[in-house]
Every structure is written in C-alpha cells, then in structure tokens.
Structure 1
C-alpha cells in the first residue's frame, strides 16, 4: 500500500506494525469460521469485522480517532469483585449506545463470553483532549457509566465493547483481579500498552512514547515523541492496545487446560498490590518492555523467595519508567520515560548497570524483519519432553517481531543451573546474521526463570494460523513443573 493511500490516522498503526507481526490480536466475539477478502484481494484476519470484510455496510463499523464516533477509557485499570469501574465515553453525533462486557477465556473455542450488557446510555460529545508538551489527556471527560462489578464475577481479562445506535464500535480493556492465592498470577502489561498508545491518531495531536505528528500531519519519530503519556485517554483506533492479543492467546490456552490463574496488571506490581508468595509463578504473557523500579524489585523478590517467573515474549524490561498521579491526584495515571532526552539518568536498564539479563537470563538483541524458524537446542531437556522436537529441529515462524539472546559480556543472575533451549539464526534489518535464544535457569531459591526470547511464543499457543503443538507442550511442561503437577 503506497503512502498516498494511507489515511493520516492509520499511519500510526502502520508505523507500529513492524514491531509486532501479530497485530492487535483477536476480537473473539467477532470470530468467523471462514476467510474474507477485501476489495484489493488482501485476506482479512478472522478477528476483523465480518460484515465489513464481506463488503456489507449493515453491521458494526470500527470507530476512528478523527470522527470519534465512539471512544472511551476506564477510570482505573484493575478492580476487584465488589468494586466499581467508571467509563468515560465520547459519542459523536450524540446518541444512545450500549456497553457489552466480555470476559476473555476459552469458552469452548469461542474465545470470550458476554457477561453483561449496560442499560441504554445517553452519549454526549466530550471536550477535546487536553495537550501539554505532547502529553494527551482526557481526564476532564464526564463519567458516562459506572459498572459495579458483582462479587460473583470471575477474575480475568475483560473488554467493554461500546456500540452506538448507528452501528459504530470501540473497545475498552480492563481487568478484574483478586488477591486470593493461585498457582499462577498472570500479569497484563498495561504499562507497555500505554507506551505504544498514539491516541488520538488524528494527524494532529496524538502522541505515544514512539511517535507524534507535525503540522503537516506527518508522523514524527522517537526524538519528537511524548516523554509522558496518560492512562486517562482511549486507546487509538479500535480501542484495544497494539499488543493485547499476546495476553489473550495465553489466557485462552491456559483456561482451556484448567490452569489455576489469578490476574493483575503491571501497575499492580508497581503499587505493591502483588504478594508474590501467594503464587507458584508469575506469568508475563505479552510484550512487556516498560518497567518501573518497583516492578523490577517485586519480580526480583518473587524469584529470590521461590516464586518462578515466566516471560513469554521478547524485549522485556528494556526501558525504565516512572509512574505519577493524574492532575486530580489519582495514582499511577501518568507514565514517564525520558529515553535519551533531557535531564536525569539514562532510561535503559542496561545503561544504569542493571541489564535485563541479570533477571531474565537473556536480553533484547533487536528486531526480526521477517519470521524465521526457531532452532531447538538441548532437546533432551525436560522442557522439550514429549514434544517430538530433536536437536536442530526448526519450529517455523517462531522467531518473529523481536528477539533476545545471551550476552556473554553481561553478568548472569545467580543460578543453580542454566540452559539455552533454542539457538536460532535470523537476518536483521541490515541483512546481518544474528541469533535468537530461549533461556531457562534455576535460582538459588529453587524458582525457575524462563524467557522465550521471541514475540511468537504466546501466539503459538492459541492464535489461528500460528499454533505450534510443540510449543504448546513445552509450555505445559514448564507450567506443570512450576505448579508441581504430577
């Protein structure tokens, strides 16, 4: 597609697409059983809008950030059963709308279940977003609907699906968490989600930690991007974070096989709401690039006290960030990452002499322009047991998006045993041959720390077109050992 064909508000999503070949991820409640093709002959993924994909105009259409047909955000990220969550929603033109609340899960292959529907609500056009030094905030929007979460609701990852009377749709993700003990705590990477959020993708005011716009509506790069972004705004485009599908892939697979999951977000780690001793393992299912110092302290404490850590993506814990209150004083609503700009210490963890490898066992090596096979190493190890994989076997497309590797000159964590389970050549953007690696080590506490070193691991668990039975079995071997299942 040539640049002249791209509408301005689409170019932000286009710019990010290079870092995640798996896109925004499935919208399971729109799932169709067949493939659809658009008018250019390109296949439309199964999670796109079916009616639009067929060329019809009678069904829901995705709202955008220019006309803002319907857009919204939640007042908080994660809530417990019995608590409430407020939604702030703009509707243009003003009209009635509904909110359908879905919970992500296996649900017999459906991928999600509708839990409740709001009453008919009256929509208003909210004020324009406020901007200051590239920071965009909608904290001044009026409350549109308060959802009182019943005490009997299951904890989990939820999506509020907003639909106007004239058929436009948008989404708001949120989490229902609990502090009860469980085998595994799933940590949703909401801090990284917000770092990538370019709302509004309008060719004028939107900004993320990666991009902003100039006066001509052209997309600017990192040196001109925001330093601080706000959680008090919708997500760009369809209203779902760019990398959200990785987490949903893991959730559908894990719930299908009955793993005992609790749920939290990375801001819960940051705020001290997570007691790692309640869990056998913490699972980080998606792209989890932005970490505050308290988040890292909690993860290190978990490992040192015997709670295992499972990192299912690449480029984890790369940038160091700070979280601050909103203008009205609500904690952890502003995310700041100075990157290499302005005063203060460097923002890369490895530049403050705390490289990621000291926790993960490997660390970020670079982007993978085209998917490559993952090459199995040490196939006799229990992780590969009953997968049928042998040394040197290739798992197609399993090195994708971004890749990690072991850095020999960088200190390793203390360990009782350590092994690399994949060693995979790929070509970087300059055509040079690099290597991806997958790591597992055992801490002195007995905790296991696994790092997949690739974006493709979670999609291989349950993403149509990406499933790999060997990766599914290897993941089960890992989690079963952590959960001490016989």
Structure 2
C-alpha cells in the first residue's frame, strides 16, 4: 500500500482517480460502487510552469446532484421508491463517497451516467490533440487557490450549473481583463443562492 501525505509539487495538474482495492494491480477504471474510488484534482504546483489554459471542473454541480442517503439537493427518495422534492437536502457536503464517479444507492430507479464522464471524455480529447491544460475545481477559483491571472483562457465543460458569487466575480474580472472564457456546455453559471456548498 502506498500512502501519500501530500501531492508532490512535480505532479502534473490533472484529474486523478485513486483506487481502493485488495488486488496488487489497480483495475485501471473506476468502479460503479461508492467508496472504492476517489476522484481528486491536482492544481499546478508552485514554481512549476504550467499550461496557458485552465479547465474548471464542475464539482459544485456534482455536489448538488449527488445522491447520498437517498437525498440530493433536488429530491429525496422515500422507502417505497418515490421521489419527493420535500425530502431533498438543503445542504451538500464534499465529504461523501463516489462524488462525480457513481451514484452510491444501489436502488436508483433509472440509470445515471457518472457526472465525471464528460470531464474524462474531454481529457481524452485534449490528450489526443496534444493540448496542454491545467485543472482546478470551481471551488478552487472561489476560494482563491487557483490564480486566473496565470492563464490566458478558462474553459468549463458540460453541466457547470452551480457557482459561488466569488467564483463568478473572479471569472468576470478575468474576462474583463482580457482573458478568454470558453463554455463547452449549457445550463451553467447559476449562483448557488441560499444553498450552501
């Protein structure tokens, strides 16, 4: 078992999947069972040159839609299998297994693709086209951990709906100062309002 106290500064920025399995060799793909894999994002390290393009991963939207203990920010599921808006959560936590990778309840009534599927497809395309991109979450932009002034362009993909006010202000300031903003998706950039991330 390899333990990692912190991400080494020389690791390239990217979206990674940590696998928790008993086998010596990893499966090389995420499982659909919650808690066996963990998705994490590595930002560009200090004092290391990076790409000129930053990709914002839409973690806040994954939080809103992620069903845990039969609840998401949209609905809850009753014991008899019915969905009720009245049972939804009012707050989402990042400390839940399977975020972005799977839906942890085995009794979901309809199939859902993993939220990270669009992100992984985009990463595959970037690699085929040899386009260098750094990654961060929208929450990294919100709390100032990702410095947009280090980049010439910001791209977001897929359904990137939930943003904080600070995140939106930072992206607008970046755009207004000459940075390019590229949105490859729809239903995006809605403020999270009273819901807390």
- TM > 0.5 between the two? yes
Instruction: Give the whole-Å Cα distance in 2 for the aligned partners of 1:163 and 1:150.
Output: 23
Which of 160, 171, 184 does residue 37 from structure 2 map onto? 171
1:237 match: secondary structure: coil
1:241 Cα deviation after fit:
8.1
1:181 Cα deviation after fit:
5.0
Q: Deviations over 1:174-197 (max 9, x none)?
A: 011116553200111111111111
1:182, 1:280 within 8 Å by CA — same for their partners in 2? no
Q: Provide the residue aligned with 2:53 in structure 1.
A: 184
1:197 aligns with 2:66: yes
2:60, 2:162 within 8 Å by CA — same for their partners in 1? yes
Instruction: Give the whole-Å Cα distance in 2 for the aligned partners of 1:303 and 1:182.
Output: 18
1:154, 1:176 within 8 Å by CA — same for their partners in 2? yes
Task: Say which structure is richer in strand.
Answer: 1
| Structure-to-structure mapping, 1:361-372, within 5 angstroms | none
2:71, 2:87 within 8 Å by CA — same for their partners in 1? no
Instruction: Give the whole-Å Cα distance in 2 for the aligned partners of 1:186 and 1:163.
Output: 29
Instruction: Give the whole-Å Cα distance in 1 for the aligned partners of 2:50 and 2:17.
Output: 24
Distance 1:172 1:256, change over 3 A: same
| Structure-to-structure mapping, 1:300-449, within 5 angstroms | 300-321=172-193, 335=197
1:183, 1:279 within 8 Å by CA — same for their partners in 2? yes
1:249 Cα deviation after fit:
1.1
TM-score, normalised to structure 2, is 0.77
Which of 185, 210, 216 does residue 74 from structure 2 map onto? 210
1:172 Cα deviation after fit:
0.8
Unmatched tracts of structure 1, length 5 or more: 1-117, 120-144, 200-204, 324-333, 336-486
Instruction: Give the whole-Å Cα distance in 2 for the aligned partners of 1:241 and 1:189.
Output: 15
Distance 1:211 1:146, change over 3 A: farther
1:237 aligns with 2:104: yes
Q: Deviations over 1:59-118 (max 9, x none)?
A: xxxxxxxxxxxxxxxxxxxxxxxxxxxxxxxxxxxxxxxxxxxxxxxxxxxxxxxxxxx3
- Asked which structure has the greater RCO (Cα within 8 Å, sep 6+), the reply is 2
Instruction: Give the whole-Å Cα distance in 2 for the aligned partners of 1:271 and 1:245.
Output: 25
Which of 160, 169, 186 does residue 288 from structure 1 map onto? 160
How many residues in Structure 1 have an aligned counterpart in Structure 2? 175
Q: Deviations over 1:198-249 (max 9, x none)?
A: 02xxxxx3311112122x24242334311101111112339x9832111111
Instruction: Give the whole-Å Cα distance in 1 for the aligned partners of 2:21 and 2:82.
Output: 29
1:161 aligns with 2:27: no
Q: CA RMSD in A?
A: 2.7
Which of 139, 146, 162 does residue 274 from structure 1 map onto? 146
2:52, 2:152 within 8 Å by CA — same for their partners in 1? yes
Q: Provide the residue aligned with 1:264 in structure 2.
A: 136
Instruction: Give the whole-Å Cα distance in 2 for the aligned partners of 1:242 and 1:257.
Output: 24
Q: Deviations over 1:420-447 (max 9, x none)?
A: xxxxxxxxxxxxxxxxxxxxxxxxxxxx
2:71, 2:88 within 8 Å by CA — same for their partners in 1? yes
Distance 1:303 1:287, change over 3 A: same
Give the greater-gyration-radius structure (CA): 1
Instruction: Give the whole-Å Cα distance in 1 for the aligned partners of 2:138 and 2:11.
Output: 22
TM-score, normalised to structure 1, is 0.33
